[in-house]
Each structure stands twice: as C-alpha cells, then as structure tokens.
Structure 1
Amino acid sequence: MSKKSIGQKILHFPLTKIIIGISVVISVFSFSKSFLSGVFQTDLLAKDVIHLIITIISSILSVVAYIYLYKFYERREITEFSTHGIGKNLALGILLGVLAQSLTILVIYVMGGYSVVSINPFLYIIPPLAMAFSSAIFEEILFRGIIFRITEEKLGSYIALVISALIFGGLHLANPNSSLSAGIGLAIQAGLLLGAAYIYARNLWFPIAIHFAWNFTQTAIFGASVSGNAISKTLITSKISGADWFTGGPFGPEGSIQATFFGLLAAIILLILSHKKGHIIKPYWKTIAANKV
C-alpha cells in the first residue's frame, strides 16, 4: 500500500476538509443569491415572492455543491442526503420542531406573557418562510454536515457533539440582542438537539426539518423574534412580555429556560435511541485500542 504524500495528508486532514467545505458552501450560497438578485429584476412578482424564489434556489444549489464536493473529495456516496426514508425524516422532524416551539410558547402563555394582537394576511408567511428555509438548510449543512460529521469521524459522536454545539452557540453571540445565557441556551437546545438528530437518523433531512419547523413556527405562526432577529411580516402579530427567563426577552423565546429544557430533553431521548441503534461513533483512539485486543 502506497503511503500518502505530505500534500495528500494536509488535503485530507479534518480541519482542511472543514475549511474547504465551509468555504465552498458559503461561496455558492452567497454568489447565487447575489447573481439571482440581479436576474430577478421584475415588477411582475412581489418582492417577498422574489426573495423566496431566490432563497429556495440558492439553498438547493448549496445542497448540490455539498454533495458534489464531498462525493469527489471523500470519494464516497453522500448518504446524509439520501432520499431513502426522506418522507419519514421530514415529517418526524417537522412534528418535533413544531411541538418543541409550541410548548415553549405555551409556557409563556400560561404565565400570562403571550397574547395575540392581530391576525394578518396569509401571504405574510412568505418572509419567515424564506428565512426558515434558508437558515435550516444552510446552517445544517455547515454545522452538522461539515463541522460535526468530519469532527465525529476522528473524535467520536459525543466530543464532536459538544464541540459543534459550542461553536453553534458561540457564533450566535454576535446576533442582535444576544447574551451569554442566550448563546449557552442555543448551544444546548439547538446545537445538541440538531446534532443528536443527525446521529439518530444519520442524514441531514431530519435536523433540517426540525430547524425549519422550529424557526417557522416561532416567527410565522407565533410572531416572535428568532435568535434576536425580528421579522417584519408574520401571520400573527403577538405581544410577549414578562421576565426574560421565560420569554427570552429581546432575543426571543429561544432565550427562555423552557426552550433549553425541551431541546435538551429531546436531545437526550434521541441519543438514548441512537445508542440502542448502534449509531454512536467512538473516538479513533478507542477504535484502535479495540482492534488491538
């Protein structure tokens, strides 16, 4: 068996694979959005509809870029985007995302902090739909498809889960109205949950569906801010008031204690099920030690 050259070792080093993957996906997503914004210069469609179309196309191109990059780079079948069982994974993910967000808002409602101000035209769901669609696909490719998956290959499921969750929560500290507690909460409720969802399903469709349903339900349906960002148009205009610990304050319901609790609970359940299914990957040093025995 021929030894790899230094260049090949560097090219296939995990950190190199992560940097290249992130660079390619971000470049494709950003360029396609910029290019399509120049192409779709028309008065025939509303701006919100045009933005939705551009977002969908750019997100799909990001998936295509990921598939072809790693199919060539790692010389393997891209099973994380396999269509096998896609309906089940999307349906289960949407159900889990809607349930977790609804329970989060329910706590605020029971505490007297949530009320409906008005119900808006149905087309007001388009801006939050575009946001939820792009953030779910784009972020899951970056954080679960690239950072978590490649880190897991060497360090194992649990260490990779903690690392990717901390990175996910840490990057959200730069969001408007964010705080250390909000970043920690997102690391737990989203970073751990979505990573656990990937481990359980061994594909990206499941965490993408959870991420999409969580964001869409939070903004379009309940009219709340998502990760510190307020959406101008939502199906329901709501008023959320009360202590930050159960409302999330200006950051939105994701900054609440119950959101963190429900996300952590779901993550623990998925990890237990993943362990039973044999989906937990051990660190490379434990695998080597086991093979020597």
Structure 2
Amino acid sequence: MVTIRRTSWINCVSIIIPYLFIVGIFQVFAHFLLGIPVGDAEINRTSWEKFTIVFFGAVGTFFTIWLFRIYIDRESIKSLGLDFLNMFEKECRWGMLMPVLIMSLAFFLLLFTKQIQYIQIKVSLNELILNCAIFILVAFTEELFIRGYILNNLMSSINKFLALTISSIIFAIMHLANPNINLISFTNLILAGILLGLPCIYRRNLWPSIAFHFSWNFFQGSIFGFNVSGLNGYSMITQMRKDDTIWNGGSFGFEGSILCIMLQVFCIIILYFLFEKRLKFRNP
C-alpha cells in the first residue's frame, strides 16, 4: 500500500535551490579541471569537455536527489522508478525504437520537402561513443530529477495528470537558457515532458523515459544532424537549411518545428490510449 504524503509537493519546491547550488558547484569544478572559463559558450566545447561537464553535473544531480530522497522523503532511490529488473520491460524497448522512427520520418519528410539539404556522411567512432555517453548521462540526469523526483512527489499530493502537466512545464523552463528558444520550441519541450512522463504515471517505471530521452537526443543530434534543443555538436549526417522556417525548426533544431508538435501530439495520444487500455484490462 502506497502512503499518500499530502505535503510532498513542498519537497519539490525545497529541492530546487539546493539542486541548482550543488549541481552548479560540481560543474564549476569540472570547468576548473578542464581549464575552461565557466562562461564559455557551448559551441566552443569539444565532445570530451561536454562529457566531463555533463558527468559532473550528473554526479551532483544524483547526490542531491539521494540526499532528499533518503533524508527528507524517507524513501528509497528505487521508489523513484529505478528498479533495475524493469529495465527490460517491453516499454523500454519501445522507448528506444519510437524516437528512431520519429526522427527518421522527420528527416526524410524535411528532405523531401526541401526544408533541409543533405550534405555528407562522416563517421567518427570516437565522437559517436562520446556523444552516446553524453546523451545517456543527460537522459538519466533529467529524467531522475524531473520524472523521478518532481513528478513522483507531485503525484503523491495532487492528481497525476496535473502533476504531469506541472512537471512538464518545469522541464521546459529548465531549457529557457538554451540558444534560439521560442514559443514553438517551448511548446515542444512541454509536449516532450508529457510524452516522457506517461510511462511514469501509468507504470511507475523511469527506464522507458530514460530510454526514450536518450534515443530521441542521440538520433536527433548525433545521427540525423539536427541541433538538440538549440545545441549543436558532432553528427554522422551533415545537413543544412536554406532558410530557417517553422517546419525545420531553424537553429533550435527539429524541436523548434511545427512538425515536431504534430508528431509528439500523435505519439502522446497513442501512448495514452495504449496505457489506458492496459489499465482497464488489468482492472476490469
């Protein structure tokens, strides 16, 4: 039986300042080790430098959430949806596959409609491995904080769909400092939060969201050549835009496009009805 903690939403508010402070300290230390000024622009960093900074940020995130989950919430880390036995559920496999299908469809649609142009394919195994590691850490970190801690605590206090909406808005706000963000990209980030949160509110399992988040970022940025939430880096496929439009997303990347909104809404509807159908089947 799950204990309902009416004040658990307070912990969501309480963690924000310690989270920013502790993660900030870890990232400043990473900059110090690398010899990079803290204000250094993302575009000037190598993949190794990005990995190092993301790694220290991930350590800081896990440390902060561990402190709050153990000593404030008085619950286990596993209760955030991190049961390793659930890593192999069918939803995790779909979490990896669905972004591949979405990004492939988006890339070829934009290519066919001349919204983007293919330039070349250039494979660097070292860069692919580093980018894979970066996006694994980003996915784990952001999902652990937003869906694992924030959404889980909110669901203990309020309706799960309201909790999902609030956590998705927080997820979008976290990206406000990203380059070239606008209303369309902000909307896409909220929709991404909803899409990533659905497995959590129905299955209480964080691994499908981590798998989806990783796959979405990796194939978007490292394979098909889109900027990831306004940030660029190595990609196996080099593409270019003749013009920045609401269809190709401009400098923010695919997540700045109307097409992304359409595809995400479609996926949200499909996942919602699949989860609802399974719920009704289990509880007739």
TM-score (norm 1): 0.76
Q: Return 133-142 or 77-86, whichever deviates more.
A: 133-142
Paired AA for residue 83 in structure 2: S
The answer for the alignment partner of 1:270 in structure 2 is 271
| Alignment of 1:129 onto 2:129 | no
Residues 165 and 48 of structure 1: CA distance in aligned 2, closer, same or farther (over 3 Å): closer
The answer for the alignment partner of 1:200 in structure 2 is 202
CA contact (8 A) 1:49 1:126 kept: no
Structure 1 segment 1-293 matched on structure 2, within 5 A: 13-38=7-32, 48-49=47-48, 51-52=50-51, 55-56=54-55, 58-60=57-59, 62-63=61-62, 65-77=64-76, 78-79=78-79, 80-88=81-89, 89-120=91-122, 121-125=124-128, 128-188=131-191, 190-231=192-233, 233-241=234-242, 244-278=245-279
Paired AA for residue 29 in structure 2: F
SS at match of 1:117: strand
Paired AA for residue 74 in structure 1: D
Q: Return 31-40 or 81-90, whichever deviates more.
A: 31-40
* Alpha-carbon distance between aligned partners in 2 of 1:54 and 1:245, rounded to the nearest angstrom: 32
CA contact (8 A) 2:50 2:134 kept: no
Deviations 1:86-109 (A, max 9, x none): 133543322122222222222212
Residues 201 and 100 of structure 1: CA distance in aligned 2, closer, same or farther (over 3 Å): farther
Paired AA for residue 34 in structure 1: V
- Size of the alignment, in residue pairs? 263
* Alpha-carbon distance between aligned partners in 1 of 2:104 and 2:177, rounded to the nearest angstrom: 26
* Alpha-carbon distance between aligned partners in 1 of 2:203 and 2:111, rounded to the nearest angstrom: 33
TM-score (norm 2): 0.78
Residues 27 and 93 of structure 1: CA distance in aligned 2, closer, same or farther (over 3 Å): farther
The answer for the alignment partner of 2:43 in structure 1 is none
- Residue 141 of structure 1 and its aligned partner are, at CA, apart by 2.3
Q: Return 239-248 or 193-202, whichever deviates more.
A: 239-248
Rg: which structure is higher? 1
CA contact (8 A) 1:218 1:225 kept: yes
Q: Return 87-96 or 137-146, whichever deviates more.
A: 87-96
* Alpha-carbon distance between aligned partners in 1 of 2:14 and 2:115, rounded to the nearest angstrom: 45
Identical aligned residues as a percent: 28
SS at match of 2:232: coil
Unaligned runs of 5+ in 2: 36-45
SS at match of 2:117: strand
Q: Return 121-130 or 257-266, whichever deviates more.
A: 121-130
* Alpha-carbon distance between aligned partners in 2 of 1:51 and 1:245, rounded to the nearest angstrom: 29
* Alpha-carbon distance between aligned partners in 2 of 1:30 and 1:92, rounded to the nearest angstrom: 34
* Alpha-carbon distance between aligned partners in 2 of 1:167 and 1:69, rounded to the nearest angstrom: 18
SS at match of 2:231: coil
Residues 97 and 138 of structure 1: CA distance in aligned 2, closer, same or farther (over 3 Å): same
Deviations 1:47-75 (A, max 9, x none): 63464355346425533542453133222
- Residue 115 of structure 1 and its aligned partner are, at CA, apart by 2.9
Paired AA for residue 227 in structure 1: S
